[in-house]
Structure 1
C-alpha cells in the first residue's frame, strides 16, 4: 500500500479521477442548491401571495358588505332625515340602526349624519356634534367645522387616515370608514360612518394570514395605510418603497436590507394589499435543507474519493504489473540506472529496451538463419525422429513448407569449395521449378551437396533434368549426380538420401555422370542373388549410420532368402556374402569389430544369423554416428584453435578459415556457432576485448598500440564498441582498473 501512495502515476490517476468526479458533483450541487433556493422562495412567495389574496378577499368582502349596508340605509324610509329627527319615529330609527350594526361582525359603532344638522345618530342614540367630538371619539386632526365641511363635499367613500380613539373604550384605536348616501349618485343628503376596532380587525387578519412571515399592509386608494400587521419599519423609507411597488412580486432594498414585496390591488375600491418579507427570513427556511445538502455533498465527496481510489488502483495495478513483467524479461537496465519519473516512463524505457533486444536478436537470427536451415534439412536427411518435428516447425518459420505429397534427394559430389558455396548460399540454394521445389544442404564429411526436392507433381527424372538445367550456367563440367527414389511426403527424405548416397557411389564404379537408384537393379535377375538395390541400400545405411534403414534392408533380404527354393549350400554362400558385405563396410569406415567374425559365421539357422547380424549392424551404425560426431567435433576444435591462435591478425575472417580448412563460409560459421555458442564476429570481438582489457590493466602502452596489436585498424570504431560493451572508454577503463588495484593493495 505504501508503494502505491509513493507512485506518481497512481497519484496522477487519483487526482484525475477525483477531478472527474468532483466537477460534475460541484455543478450538480450548485444547480441543486440554486433550484432548491428558487423553489423554496417561490413556494414561500406563492404561499404568502395566496394568503394575501385571501386577505384581499376578506377585506373586499367586508367593504362590499359595508357599501351595501350604506346603500340599504340610504333607501330605508325609517332612516330619512325627517324620521330620525322626529320625536316619535326617531326612536324607531335608532333601533333600526342597531339592527344594521348587529348584522355586521366587524363594526364597533355605526353613525348616521346629515349635513347641516347639529346632531349625529347611532345605534346608541342621538348626540350633538359637540358631544360626539368631545366625549365619544377623539380625532387627531379633525374639528367639528372641518368635519362638517368635508361631509358636505364628500362624493365617494372615505377612509379616515388620522388616529381615531374611542374615549370610553380605554382609548382604543379605531378605523373610520365613511360612505356618502345614497352611494354612486352625484348628490347625497347624508353619510354613514363605520367605526371598526383596529384590534378586532387585526385579529381577523391574523386568523386569515396564519403564520405568514414578514409584514402585511392594507392601503386605500390614496396609498395610505389603513391597517398594518407585523410592521417592522422604523421610518418612512420602508413605506415609500411599499407604496411605490408594482402589483405582483418584486424585490427591493430598505435600510440596506433585502426584502421581497408581494402586492395585489382591488380595482373597485383602489385598495392595495401588500406583504413584505425580509429575504434573510426567507433564506432561514433553508437551514434544514442546507444541512441535508451538506451531508449529501459530503457523502458524494466520500463516494468520489473511494471511487477515484478504486478506479486509480484498478488502472495502476496492470501498468505496475506489466512494468515489473517487462523489466523481469528485459536483460538491460533502465537508462542510466535511474528511477523513472513514473511507471509509464519506466514501462516506455523497458519496452524500448525489449525492442532493442528484439532488434538485436532479429539481427542475430538473420545471421544464423542459413545455419538453422542447414541444420533442419540435415536432421531430415539423417532421419533423426527425435528432432524431426522440431526441424519441420523451424523450416515452416523460415518459410520452407513442403507442399507436395512426395519427395526425393539428389546428391552432387564436388571438391570445389566455391561451387559448394554457390549452391548453399547463392541463387542455387533454393530452386523453384514447375511442380517442385529444391533446397540445398551441404554434407561436409561426404564432400557433396544434397538437394531436398519437394514434389507436387511430375516424376523424378524431369525434376532432376530441371535442376541440372539450373546448375549448367554455373558449372563448366557437370559433376556426378546420385538420385534416390521418390517417397511419400517428408518421411521419405531419409531413405531417399541413403539411396542417393548409394547411387553416387555407383557413379564411380560405372563411370556415369548420374545414376538413379531405381535403375541400379533394373537388369539384374533377383532369383539368383539378393538385388544390387538391397546391397547398395545396406552399405550406404551403414556408412551413414542409419540403423532403421539397415535393419529394414536386412530383414527384407532374409525374408527373400527364406522364400526361395535355393540349394542349402547356395543359401549358405549367400549368408556368408551378407556377413562379408557388413564386415567390409565396417572395415572401410575404419571401425574395429566388437564382435568376432567367428561369432557371426557360426550360425545354425537363418533366423539365428538374422538376429546376430541385425544386432551387429545396429551397434555398427551407432558407432558410425559416434565417429561422425567426434570427427565433426575435431574439426570444430581445430577451427576454434585456429581462431584463438590468429585472432589478433587484422585479416582474420571466415574466408581465411574456410580456405585454411577447405570448408565453405556457411559451414565454417555453423561449426563456430555450434562450438562457441555465438557467431564468428561476436567470438572474435570477445577474444579481442578480453586481450585489450588485460593489456589495459597490466601495461602502460598507448590505446592506439593496443588496438592495432589485437587486430583493429580503426581506433575510433574500437573505442565506440568498447564503450558500448563496458560503459567506459578504454582510458576510463584503465583508470578505473588502477583505482581498484590501489584499493586492493591497501
Structure 2
C-alpha cells in the first residue's frame, strides 16, 4: 500500500465508507440469523423427528401385521388343529411347527397356542400345564387366573402393557404379551395365540429408527394405557403422562416437570396406538451454540476478507482521483489557488473552474465541430445530454432537415456574419436553426428543427425557414447564393442522411438549371416496387417440413413460386424472394438435423418452372428424413420403456401409468404401442416377468416363499399362489419340491 495514500484523509474516508457498507449489512444479517437460528433449527429437528417417529410407527405396524399373519397361518395349519394337538403322537409335529413359526419373526420371545376350555397350553418348547404361568413365566402384575380368563375370552388382538416376568432361572425380564384370537374374524374363536415380546426388543426397534434421540418415548394403547416407555433418566408424573396421550397428532410444546418440552405425537390407524416422544427444549441450544460458533468463524473470515477488499477498492477508486489531484497540482501555475486547497477534490475543483473559463472561450469552435460531426456521423452516443447542456443546445423538435448554403463569389465575409448565422430562432416557422461552417470554402450548412403544425406535413415551416435564410444572406451582401435542401426526418440521428441529400441537391443545381433552391425530393429517381412473400406462407412451409408432411409442403412451395411469378418482380428481386423460400427450407432442415447436399444451384435460376422441381425434390427428402427420424425415436422410446420395466418389475407400484409418465407418453398411446411391439398387454407381461423370477428363486435359493413373493413386487401372497398354481399346475412349494427332489416347503 502506498504510504502517501494512507496520509490522505480522502482515501481513509473512502476505505471507512466501504468498510461500513460491508459491515453494517453483515452485522444485520448476523443478528437476524442468530435470532432465527434457534427456532429454525428446532423446527427442522422436530420435523425430521416427526418423520422418524412416523417411520417407527409404520415399522411397528408392519411387524404387528406379521404377527397377525403368523397367527392366521397357525389357525389354518392342519398340524396345529385341536384334534391332532391333543393326540400325544401328533402333538410333537405341532410343537415343531410352533418353533418354526417362532423363528420367522425376531420379535417373538416365546409363542403359545391355547385351545379354549383346555387345561393345557402349547409352546415352541412343548406342552405345559397352565401352572407354567406360576413358575416358568410368572408375571408380576398379571396373575395366572387372569391369564387363563383372558386366553379364554379375548375377542380381538390385544397387547398388554410391559410387565416384569420371572423365569425359572430367577431373573426378571420386562415383556409384552400380545394375544390374537383364532380363527381370525371369527365371532367364536376356538383358540388364542399369545406372543411374548421382550420390551427391549420392541423399544430397540423404535430406537434404531429414532437414532441418537435422547428424550422420552411412550407407546399408548387406544385407551391411554402405557404399553411401553423409554425414560432415559427422566420420569414423569401420571398427570404429565396423561397429558402426553391427549396431545393430537403433530408437533407441540408442552410443560412437563416444570420444563418446556418438544413433544411429537403420531397415531396408528391400524391398531389405535399412539407414539409420543418428549425432549427438553434446551437440548436444542447445544446445536445452536455450535451453529453460532460456525457463523462467527464464517462472519469473521468474511469481515477480514471484506476489510482487505474494501482497502483494495478504496485504493482502486482513489487512484484516478489521486492522479487528477497530482495533475491539478502540476497545473497550479494557471489557477494559482490550486496548491492552496486543503484536499485533492479542492485542487481538482480549482483546476476545473479554470478549465471551464477556458472552455467558454472555445465554445463556438466546439459547437461547430460538434455539429459537423453530427452531420457526418449521427451515432446515438453523440447526442449525450451532458454534451448538449455544455454546448447550450437541444434537439427536441418533431422534424429535422439540413440545408446546404453556398455562394460563388470569392469575396471575404465578415466573421460577424458567420456568428450571426450560428443560431437562429424563427418564431413564425416554430423553428430553431443551427449554422455550421463547412470545411469547403463559401459553404455553410443549417440544421433545421421545428414543430409540425397538425394541418401541415412540415413543408410550410421548412419554406419559411428557407425564406429567412435567404433574407439574412441578402442582408449580409452575399450574392448569387444557392441552397440544397434534404428531406425531412423524425430524428436528429437521421441528420447525416438529410445532409447527404442536401449535398446531392446542392450539386444537382447544374442539372436543374439556374435555380436558387433545389430540393432532393425533386430529383427524379426510379424505384422498383414489388411485394414480398407473405410471412404466413413461409411459416406454413417450415411447419410442414418439420412435421414430415410432403403433402402440405409441396403445394405450399408451388403457391410461393406462383406468388413470385404473379408479382411481376424483376429478376434480381424474384431471385431474392426465391432464396427466401430456399433459406426457409434449409433452416427447417438444420433444425431437424437433416444434412442437405443437393441444394438447387443459383445458376439454374432461369424460370420458376425449372426451380420448382429441385425445391420439391429437396422438400421430399427433408420430409422423408423427418418421418424416418420420428419412427426411429418412437422405436427407441419403446425400447427404453421395456428396459425400464425389466429393471423395475419387482416394484409393487409399477403400473402402465407410471411407466408412461416416466417416459412422458400418453398411457393410451403407450398401451397400444406396447402391445404392437410385444404382442401382450402390459399386466400379463409384467406378471410373466414376476413368475419367471419366482421360479428362478425357487430353483436357486432356499429362501422362504413368504419372502420371495414380496421380493418380486407382489404383496398379496395368497392370490399370487393361487394364480401361480393356475398357470403352472403347482403351488410354489410343489414347484420347489419337484426341482429339488424333496423337502417341500409349506405354502
Tell me the TM-score normalised to structure 1 length: 0.40
Greater gyration radius: 1
Tell me the TM-score normalised to structure 2 length: 0.40
